[in-house]
Structures are given as structure tokens and as C-alpha cells.
Structure 1
């Protein structure tokens, strides 16, 4: 196994399931010391799956600044510093026409898919500066162009802007900031549901419309796999991408969003 992350400390948020879980497990396999971060209490069990003393789980709510700050402090306490942050928290809660979103639902989408990345980037910066540099990889989305999830699209547009602005601001401090923009991705059933209230029959119809749009927008006319997403994220996190910063890499089968 390529040991690209030997000697590196990585924090992966949203590591309990989906893309984040795949990133964290592979990073450990490639030699990294990895803090698996999620608000799901089974995150510690996921870390154990890595089979390494260098994989540790941490439960916190990244929709609060205190949660993000606590995760970074715990990583430093556990591993002595931070070299890489992968921001994997996010995901559309509901699919519906924008006119049908309630104001509280709009707020919830922004809080889920923008604020954890915004908070974590801020919380990690002092530790990267103390380290003399580092890398942040934000997991955005190609859904900045799509239907039935306008608030989520706006949140991910914010992640893209954050990526570019932060990269420009901290390049001279040897901090790279990059992102991937995944398209539709097949993943095992979620242990924590996307929408805790459950989807109504109408919402299931709207979700089907969004899935159809995403599939047809891909040149391959299909969803990608978790491995399709994990590889590019870890490439951007590695020293192989040392001259890449401020970039948002579409990983969506040709649909650039």
C-alpha cells in the first residue's frame, strides 16, 4: 500500500459513513494518523475498523463552532499536531422545489452543508500555522447546478468560494486549500438518515426528479462509486498535489455543475 500519509496527522469530518468514512479508512491504510470525527456515536466503532492505533474516533457536533474547535484540540492532544483537514460533513436534507422550502428548512440546509466546513477551516488554521503549513480539502458538490435542492446548492457554492478565498489568503503561509465537487455517488444505506423526519410521498417524487437530472447530466449516465470519490480527495490531500491550491475538482462523470 502506498504510504503517502506516513508521518501525517489528518482530521476527517463526516467520517461515520459515506465518502468521509472511505477517506478516513484509506488514509489510515496509507500510513496516516487519523482522527475520525462525526456526531454519530458509532464513529468510534468506525475508527476501530481501521485496525490501527493511529485511528481514533471523536464525537462532536460540527454544526457548532465549539464542536469544530473541540475536534481540532483533541487531534492536537492525541497526535501532537494537524497536517491535513478533510471536510466531509454535508448533504442535502430535503429535495423539493425552492418555493416549497420553509424558512427553517432553508436555514437547516445552510447549517448542515456550509457551516461545518466554515467552522472547521477557522478552527484548524491556528494549528496549521503552528505546524508551518498544511492542507485543507473541502468536499463540495457539483450540485451548484441542479434541481430540487437550491439551499444545498447555495451552501456548496459557499464552500467553493471559501476554498478559493482561503487558498489565496494563506498561500504564503504554506497552507493549500482545495476541494472536490462530487456528483451523484452510490453508497451503502445510511445508518443515520438524511432527513430524520422521513420523506413524504411527494418528497420521494421530487427526489426521483433530482436523481434523474443528476444521472442524465453525467456523461456516463450513471452514478459514481465511493472509490471514485475517495481517490481524488486523497490525491489532493497528498504531497503529489503540492502545486495545486484554490482549485475545485469536479468528480462527476463530466458534469461540472
Structure 2
């Protein structure tokens, strides 16, 4: 499929993991990509891998000037902007919730929630012209109680923001959607393989997700295949929202029969 032929996407936090997989998927389907991240060397590597239809930039989404520069570079190089994938974020508060300071809350929200808002604000004039769309990578933490309260609040805020933008700009043909991943095997987990193996037991499908699982969902929502979908949160989570910890039980409470 070449669903992104002639289209241009900007992907944040795309040096590795989910963001890199999204950039690769869009490029593989014919799109041009602006690959952004704080990690300059890795950004250059991903962009170089994608060839002439990609550029790499160091972008901090907490800095509006850098966000504006990335949007401007996309339009200058490729002539348009059709898709923004808000992937930047992370769990940066280490305090227990009762001890988290106002500064820690501000840092978490500024990166994960306000950072996504900055990218939307910068891109909107161009997305209106192309009747483009935004896909924001939230988390199952924004949908259910999985801990990390400050991070979860920011991720829930992304969902609420998306619904409101979808209602506000639907009449102009601009779509806004969310992908909410469960646990994904990204480089952040490289030093904790045993933890990932334990997490896999919570998932009805028997494994944690791969970055490519999320990239496939993003590609769908960002393409014309989803042209009548906006304000939607697509949970890509291996079934964990059906009931963590009850994976191997039948409704009667007995362990399922193995075949």
C-alpha cells in the first residue's frame, strides 16, 4: 500500500522505539517524514535510513521555537504538511504521588500534554490547508488505573484535548485521533527483560507489544482509510483492558484448559 504517497508527516520522539517505527511505516507507504527527537545522532540515523524523503532534526517539544522550526522545515523541504504524530513524552516523575512537587507536575505536563499542544498549534494552519490530521500517542494509563499518577493524568489530558480539537476543527476537515498503547518493547526496557516477561503475563494475547504494532495503528488512523474517524481513541493493548491479572481464568474462576 502507498497510502501516504505525496504526503508529509512530522513525527516527534522518532529516534527509536514507537516513533522510529511510525516514521519507517509512513515512509514505506510512500510518505515523506520529518523525524524529530532530542537525540541528534539517532535522529540522523533514522532519517538517513529513510533516504531523500526524510529529514532529521533535534526538537525539544517543550520549546515552541524549535517546534515551529520543525514545522517550517517540513513545509520548506516538502511543500506541505499532512500528518503530525505526537509521540514525545515519558514518565519523568519519580516521587510517590503524595510527595510529588508542583515543579514535578509542571515538568510532566509540559512535556507530555503541553508539548503535544505546541505541535498541534504550530501545525494547524498547514493541516487546515491540506485537510490533514493529528495522531497522538497516549497510553492505557490515560484510560485505566495503572499507576504513575502524574504521567497518567497527562496521558488522559491528551485524550480530552484530542476530543475537543476533533469537535472544533472537524468542519474544516482536520481529524484528531489517539492511539493508546499498552506495554511496548522499546529500548527503555532493554535493561529490564525480566520485567517485560512478567508484564506479558497480564496480557490475554500473551505478549507485550512491539513498536510496529503501534505504527500499524497510527498508519491506519493517519490515512484515508480512517477518513470518517475523528475524536477516537484506539487502544492497542493486547487485551489488558479486559482485566489485568485475570488472563488465565475462565468466567467461573477456574484456570482455562490448555490445548
What residue in structure 1 maps to residue 155 of structure 2?
156
Cα offset for 1:147? 3.9
What residue in structure 1 maps to residue 34 of structure 2?
35
What residue in structure 2 maps to residue 8 of structure 1?
7
Does 2:228 match 1:243? yes
What residue in structure 2 maps to residue 44 of structure 1?
44
Please say which of residues 170-179 and 142-151 is displaced more in the overlay. 142-151
Return closer, same or farther for 1:254/1:95 CA change in 2, 3 Å cut-off. Answer: farther
Please say which of residues 169-178 and 146-155 is displaced more in the overlay. 146-155
- How far apart in 1 are the matches of 2:89 and 2:188? 16
- How far apart in 2 are the matches of 1:55 and 1:190? 27
- How far apart in 1 are the matches of 2:82 and 2:113? 22
- How far apart in 2 are the matches of 1:148 and 1:231? 27
Assess if the C-alpha contact under 8 Å between 1:138 and 1:180 holds in 2: yes
1:167-190 CA-to-partner distances (Å, cap 9, x unmatched) read 010011010111100011112357
SS in 1 for 2:35: strand
Matched ranges for 1:60-71 at <5 A: 60-71=59-70
Assess if the C-alpha contact under 8 Å between 1:4 and 1:31 holds in 2: yes
What residue in structure 2 maps to residue 118 of structure 1?
117
Q: Please, which of 132, 135, 139 is the counterpart of residue 134 of structure 1?
A: 132
- How far apart in 1 are the matches of 2:213 and 2:97? 30
- How far apart in 2 are the matches of 1:147 and 1:34? 33
- How far apart in 2 are the matches of 1:30 and 1:71? 22
Cα offset for 1:211? 9.4
C-alpha RMSD of the superposition? 2.3
Cα offset for 1:68? 1.5
Please say which of residues 24-33 and 146-155 is displaced more in the overlay. 146-155
Assess if the C-alpha contact under 8 Å between 2:140 and 2:181 holds in 1: yes
Cα offset for 1:91? 1.5
Return closer, same or farther for 1:97/1:211 CA change in 2, 3 Å cut-off. Answer: farther
- How far apart in 2 are the matches of 1:127 and 1:155? 26
What residue in structure 1 maps to residue 21 of structure 2?
22
Assess if the C-alpha contact under 8 Å between 1:97 and 1:147 holds in 2: no
What residue in structure 1 maps to residue 213 of structure 2?
228
Return closer, same or farther for 1:211/1:175 CA change in 2, 3 Å cut-off. Answer: farther
SS in 1 for 2:55: strand
Please say which of residues 88-97 and 106-115 is displaced more in the overlay. 88-97
- How far apart in 2 are the matches of 1:215 and 1:94? 24
**Larger radius of gyration, structure 1 or 2?**
2
- How far apart in 2 are the matches of 1:140 and 1:120? 15
Assess if the C-alpha contact under 8 Å between 2:93 and 2:105 holds in 1: no
- How far apart in 2 are the matches of 1:19 and 1:47? 15
SS in 2 for 1:85: strand
Taking structure 1 as the reference length, the TM-score comes to: 0.85
Assess if the C-alpha contact under 8 Å between 2:25 and 2:216 holds in 1: no
